[in-house]
Amino acid sequence: MFNEETLLQELTFKAIKSSGSGGQHVNKVASKVELSFNVKDSIAFSDKQKTHLLEKLQNRLSKEGVLLLQCDESRSQHKNKELVIKRFLELIRASLVKPKKRILTKIPKAVIKKRLKSKRHLSDKKANRKPPELL
């Protein structure tokens, strides 16, 4: 499918201070990790895989074709780096999976008859609710 080691070498990481409230620790430690990966310039994927990734991840990519993922769940920078790499690999694997082609099947005659019979039953039920027509 793809070479994971080559892919991991192409990743770029940046440590950022986490946003939001948190106290003294959050104000001085850059524990948030941002992963960036350029899909267009990658050598880990074939051209066909690149086009497939660009199509699948188009709403997550920047204009330059760069995928950005962030993680600030943990107070540890190393743990956040592991988590963001794990998420990245799951995202890539899920994006490269090709969905099975749907095989059209014919609706069985018994199913069609059953549907028409239930429609007729409801129609008769509603028709019986009406007051009789007097001449």
Q: Residue 120's pLDDT is what?
A: 97
**Whole-number Å distance between alpha carbons of 3 and 46:** 11
23-82 pLDDT tens trace = 666 667 788 899 999 998 888 888 999 899 999 999 999 988 899 999 988 888 899 999
88-132 pLDDT tens trace = 999 999 999 988 999 999 999 999 999 999 999 999 999 999 988
Contact predicate 71/84, CB 8 Å: yes
List all residues 6 or more positions away from 58 whose beta carbon is below 8 Å from its beta carbon: none
pTM: 0.69
φ and ψ at residue 44, rounded to 5 degrees: -80, -20
What domains are defined for the chain? Answer: 4-96 (3.30.160.20)
52 Rama class: left (phi>0) / alpha (psi -120 to 50) / beta: alpha
Question: Smallest Cα–Cα separation from 55: which of 69, 70, 40, 44?
Answer: 40
